[in-house]
Amino acid sequence: MSDSTAILVLGMHRSGTSAVAGWLQALGINLGSHLMPADASQAKGYFEHAEICSVHEALLSLFDSPWHDPRPLPERWQRDHRVGSFRERLVEIIRRDLSVQPLWSVKDPRLCRLLPLWLEILNELNVGVRVILVLRHPAEVAESLALRNGFSAPKSGLLWLHHVLEGERNSRSLLRVVLAYDHLLRDWHFESQRIERALGIVWPRSYDEAGPIVHDLLERNLRHHKTSYFGAFPMPLRKWLVATYRAFNRSSVTSEALSAVLDDVSRQSTPYEFEDLGTETAHVGFFKGEMPNGNGLYYLQLANGTFFGYYSVANYPFLYHFGLGWEYIYDANDGAGGVYFYDFGLKAFLYTSPNVFPFLYNFSSGSWVYYSSDTSRWFYDFGAGEWVFSAPG
């Protein structure tokens, strides 16, 4: 019989794992007392054990692999003699802060990659293991990472793919369940009951006690990016992302069909790399006619000659458009010369291309808007059937 049970939260960065961990804490699951503080990127908090994250970061650096490195770790990396001190530190933290309660949890997206070491440790400590695989649409993750880190969509998509594949593959022997981020936001009460049954546990705190905390944590404005569009990702990456995401939505987490699909994707995608897998933002080459104007600035125009704004090397990927104001902009990589950008007035991600501008797609409202170039920041929202004024953010 296990001395305690650990619920491991596995998922890609910006996939809603913080919300899931906060929800677990509200239901009475012990996360320890040394949690990372909230900041501008996570206003409600990360719900990550700060010392564990520090150990994980140092452990990955041992293999020259930052958190945004999509390459796999070396074969049997957890048996490397240099890992011993990290193993001892994790054991110390688990015994001191976590396994003192019957039910506890650890959340860190790096767990997807570091799970083999964790499973060895938990087995040695006689700790039972349950897994929650957190799933969020890869395009939403890419939009979030573009805004926070300036990553291109291909890089974020490849990171999503490798985290999801590793987390699923490394947890196949465990009792586990998939939790879609949007399902948790939609009906946390139903998901709580479903996961309680699936994992064979009993929440320490009642729903009535947890309710006010959960409602505050999962308020709708936490979900800043909502989309179901795969067009930002180039082929063949797009094909693998679609197959993986749909497999999780259509198959049981214990089904052989799911494993077969993901194993096939893994075989195809393992040697696949992008040239722009560094920390730089997508290049400005998708604009035609980038030319210096003599003041250290460059003016950009779309392939059809439409003027779009000014940028400088110092503040790119922020671009200044005289009507729209400052925009955070990056390559849509859709083969049509399209661009995505974040509009601080509308507080939304938009899309346009040389073929459709001045029509832009608003991902927040899910409808097309028309930008009136002869007025300042006025849009016609075709979904709402009205004009909208967007004050600069």
CB 343, CB 352: distance < 8 Å: no
Average pLDDT over residues 33-54: 84
Q: Are residues 183 and 318 in the same domain?
A: no
Q: Which domain holds residue 342?
A: 284-389
User: DSSP letters of 145-178?
Assistant: HHHHH---HHHHHHHHHHHHHHHHHHTTTSEEEE
Dihedral, CA of residue 109, residue 114, residue 117 and residue 123, to nearest 10: 30
More confident of the two residues 267 and 338: 267
Q: Are residues 185 and 324 in the same domain?
A: no
pLDDT of residue 289: 37
Is 228 contained in some domain?
A: no
pLDDT of residue 167: 96
Is 120 contained in some domain?
A: yes
pLDDT of residue 291: 44
* Alpha-carbon distance values, 80 to 53, 76, 84, 145 (Å): 20, 7, 8, 32
Is 67 contained in some domain?
A: yes
Average pLDDT over residues 239-260: 86
Mean of per-residue pLDDT scores for the chain: 83
- CATH number of residue 128's parent domain: 3.40.50
Is 270 contained in some domain?
A: no
pLDDT digits (tens, 9 = 90+) for 160-189: 999 999 999 999 999 999 999 999 999 999
- Label residue 11 by pLDDT band (50, 70, 90): very high
pLDDT digits (tens, 9 = 90+) for 273-306: 544 333 333 333 334 334 444 455 666 666 556 6
The pTM assigned to this predicted structure is: 0.70
- Rounded to the nearest 5°, which phi and psi values hold at 53? -60, -40
Is 239 contained in some domain?
A: no
Q: Cis omega (within 30 of 0) on the bond before 109?
A: no
Q: Which of the residue ranges 41-45, 108-112, 178-182, 196-200 would you say has the lowest mean pLDDT?
A: 41-45
Q: In what order do the strands lie in the sheet with 127-135?
A: 103-107, 4-10, 127-135, 175-180
Q: Are residues 329 and 189 in the same domain?
A: no
Whether residue 193 is predicted with pLDDT greater than 80 in this model: the reply is yes
